[in-house]
């Protein structure tokens, strides 16, 4: 018998300003379930999650939460104003019996000390503190709204591992496909106010969604043909002329009503880039460039060649210097040493990470046209700004809306629309995927892939980089940048480890340099023991076996019917998966320490 749900939303209705946002929406969360909540921007995902958390009152339907269950909700815009420090904020979320030391551990893991004043936090730092607050109690249910926003790649990979180690049930909203695919085992699709559930993880969602939409389209065509037949009978049928068939007229009325009430899928973004002249074959050549700020080395002796048609992905932790590197590669910043050679006939268009050109008081149409005109030119063709707005899912009524009144997703679309309208053959996109829904991401990927010019993309979205990048440049630490052929996954294979692992090595080496200088004599005499040598040889095989076990368990748990058929077996496999992942992490850490020790001994 399946376990009773911890949280249940049934037949939820909600209307905002006369517009129905949710109708007959449902969300059932059972112990240990990991659910992806997906849908377009503005479909009501965040609102449904707020209803689940009890922060928003619905107009109709039933919300039930198991009385003994603990629930923690991560909002997109957390409020820390009532607390003196980030540590106080996180500790306030702990319950009786919770591990108080976990608050400090999570803050440190997310790059915070706990002493920060909420008044001085950036939006990203506030989000990281809020993440620590909801994770610290290890609740029964985690409701996470865009948990990867404002996190860099090492932090995303750390968060994914941390969530994998928890036994909490989870509902996740995220635009990060890789994050959702790796973590979830069920998917709830919120579409036109109604939810549909797939008992498989997000990796199976897009194929299922396309099938559902194709079936809808076929049903719509059948309904249209049926209405045409009935209208033809009404106008020309002999029986209809002699006497009105009341039953048949009523059926026609019902068909028309069904047709009116059928809510089609919201229009798709129509994304085209305004392309300029063809550039020369060589776009950028950097030879041994370096840049420092004070004592800090941002770029050290880096060389690369960017050719026409290349799509370069740039990744690394926040603060590594990705924006500085881009400015040098585009000629906007001179290196301290080395040479930058730019190709001929370059026309640069940039989308900056902070959306700095979006002044909050500027009207939407002026942000797109530059002001003073209702016309915008795309690939030499003059278009009215309202028509261009519709391509990016804005209504004519929003033309005079100030940018500051738009949602995060809408502002992201404005910035993209403006950048893509500028004639270019060299496109630089700094964090273009922030706040975009999955469908818009699809179109952005297609646009970048089909772009005839050259593109440089800074992104923490691993799936996006896999789909568009021809090579990836990664910050290795201490000003070292390395270029790898292929996308993000290709880069990981070539390096032999992920960003998080390399960051740990770099940190360990950095700390080890001082220790090595102080203990060089002792280290020179030190030798690996037989036990340490044996561990170095056997740990890789142990890790490989654990990875195979984890893969097998994940495959078994991906079966949507397992929980209903065998709840005890599901629980046992979930427990075994958590234990195997913990063993693998411990084995990797032990091997890393021994390998570093061996390198130090061997000089």
CATH number, domain of 201, equals 3.40.50.300
pLDDT score at 1: 47
The answer to whether residues 201 and 233 belong to one domain is no
Q: What is the pLDDT of residues 439-466, one digit of tens each?
A: 778 778 888 888 888 999 998 888 889 8
The verdict on residue 238 lying in a domain is yes
The DSSP 8-state label assigned to residue 116 in this structure reads -
493 vs 489: CA distance, rounded Å: 6
Domain boundary among 472, 500, 528: 500
The answer to whether residues 439 and 317 belong to one domain is yes
359 conformational bin, left if phi > 0, alpha if psi -120 to 50, beta if neither: beta
Percent of the chain with pLDDT over 90: 34
The verdict on residue 135 lying in a domain is yes
Q: H/E element holding 248?
A: helix 246-261
User: Any idea how long the chain is?
Assistant: 603
* The model's pTM: 0.68
CATH number, domain of 538, equals 1.10.287.380
The answer to whether residues 377 and 470 belong to one domain is yes
Q: Which two tokens stand for residue 357?
A: 């050109």
The answer to whether residues 167 and 295 belong to one domain is no
The answer to whether residues 42 and 167 belong to one domain is yes
Helix%, strand%, coil% for the chain, nearest 5: 45, 20, 30
The answer to whether residues 291 and 244 belong to one domain is no
CB 485: neighbour CB atoms within 10 A? 11
Q: What is the pLDDT of residues 346-368, one digit of tens each?
A: 888 887 655 556 788 888 888 88
The answer to whether residues 320 and 393 belong to one domain is yes
Using an 8 Å Cβ cutoff, are 170 and 163 in contact?
yes
The verdict on residue 251 lying in a domain is yes
The answer to whether residues 339 and 359 belong to one domain is yes
Half-sphere exposure of 31 (CA within 13 A, CB side): 14
The answer to whether residues 173 and 300 belong to one domain is no
The packing angle between helices 438-450 and 408-421, to 10°, is: 20
pLDDT score at 507: 46
The verdict on residue 29 lying in a domain is yes
Domain boundary among 207, 228, 244: 207
The verdict on residue 266 lying in a domain is no
Domain range for 585: 519-601
pLDDT score at 270: 60
The answer to whether residues 90 and 31 belong to one domain is yes
The verdict on residue 2 lying in a domain is no
To the nearest whole number, what is the mean pLDDT of the chain? 81
The verdict on residue 510 lying in a domain is no
The answer to whether residues 414 and 545 belong to one domain is no
pLDDT score at 254: 62
Report the relative pairing of strands 337-342 and 348-351 from DSSP bridges: unpaired
pLDDT score at 360: 81
How many domains are there within the chain? Answer: 4
pLDDT score at 14: 93
Domain boundary among 469, 500, 531: 500
Q: Which residues of the chain have pLDDT under 50?
A: 1, 238-244, 262-265, 501-524
Report the relative pairing of strands 186-191 and 34-38 from DSSP bridges: parallel
């Amino acid at each position: 018998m399946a376990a009773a749900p911890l949280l249940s939303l049934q037949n939820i209705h909600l209307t905002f300003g006369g517009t129905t946002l949710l109708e007959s929406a449902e969300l059932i969360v059972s112990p240990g379930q990991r659910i992806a909540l997906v849908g377009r921007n503005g479909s009501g995902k965040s609102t449904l999650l707020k209803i689940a958390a009890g922060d928003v009152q619905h107009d109709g339907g039933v919300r039930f939460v198991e009385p003994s269950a603990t629930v923690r909700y991560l909002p997109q815009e957390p409020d820390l104003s009532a607390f003196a420090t980030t540590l106080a904020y996180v500790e306030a979320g702990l319950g009786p019996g919770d591990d108080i030391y976990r608050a400090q551990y999570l803050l440190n893991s997310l790059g915070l000390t706990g002493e920060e004043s909420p008044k001085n936090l950036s939006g990203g730092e506030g989000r990281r503190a809020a993440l620590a607050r909801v994770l610290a109690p290890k609740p029964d249910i985690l409701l996470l709204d865009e948990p990867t926003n404002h996190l860099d790649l090492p932090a995303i990979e750390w968060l994914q591992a941390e969530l994998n180690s928890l036994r909490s049930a989870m509902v996740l909203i995220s635009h990060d496909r890789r994050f959702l695919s790796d973590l979830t085992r069920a998917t709830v699709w919120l579409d036109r106010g109604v939810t549909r559930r797939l008992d498989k993880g997000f990796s199976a969602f897009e194929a299922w969604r396309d099938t559902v939409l194709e079936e809808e389209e076929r049903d719509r065509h059948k309904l249209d043909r049926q209405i045409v037949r009935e209208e033809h009978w009404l106008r020309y049928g002999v029986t209809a002329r002699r006497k009105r068939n009341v039953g048949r007229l009523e059926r026609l009325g019902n068909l028309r009503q069904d047709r009116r009430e059928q809510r089609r899928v919201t229009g798709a973004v129509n994304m085209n880039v305004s392309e300029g002249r063809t550039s020369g074959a060589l776009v950028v050549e950097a030879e041994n460039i370096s840049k420092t700020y004070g004592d800090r080395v941002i770029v050290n002796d880096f060389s690369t060649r960017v050719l026409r048609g290349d799509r370069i992905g740039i990744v690394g932790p926040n603060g590594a210097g990705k924006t500085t590197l881009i400015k040098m590669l585009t000629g906007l910043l001179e290196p301290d040493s080395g040479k930058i050679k730019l190709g001929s006939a370059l026309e640069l268009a940039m989308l900056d990470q902070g959306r700095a050109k979006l002044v909050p008081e500027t009207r939407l149409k002026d942000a797109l046209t530059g002001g003073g005109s209702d016309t915008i030119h795309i690939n030499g063709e003059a278009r009215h700004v309202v028509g261009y707005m519709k391509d990016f899912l804005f209504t004519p009524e929003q033309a005079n809306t100030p940018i500051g009144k738009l949602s995060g997703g809408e502002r992201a679309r404005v910035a993209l629309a403006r950048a893509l309208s500028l004639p270019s053959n060299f496109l630089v996109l700094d964090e273009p995927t922030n706040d975009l829904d999955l469908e818009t991401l699809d179109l952005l990927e297609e646009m970048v892939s089909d772009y005839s010019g050259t593109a440089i993309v800074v992104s923490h979205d691993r799936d996006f980089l896999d789909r568009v990048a021809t090579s990836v440049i990664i910050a290795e630490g201490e000003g070292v940048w390395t270029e790898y052929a292929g996308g993000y996954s290709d880069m990981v294979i070539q390096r032999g480890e992920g960003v998080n692992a390399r960051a740990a090595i770099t940190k360990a080496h950095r700390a080890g340099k001082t220790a090595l200088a102080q203990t060089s004599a002792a280290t020179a005499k030190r030798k690996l023991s037989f036990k340490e040598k044996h561990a170095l040889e056997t740990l890789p095989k142990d890790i490989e076996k654990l990875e195979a076990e984890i893969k097998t368990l994940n495959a078994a748990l991906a079966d949507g019917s397992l929980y209903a058929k065998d709840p005890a077996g599901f629980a046992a496999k979930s427990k075994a998966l958590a234990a195997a992942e913990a063993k693998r992490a411990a084995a990797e850490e032990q091997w890393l320490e021994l390998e570093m020790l061996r390198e130090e001994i061997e000089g």
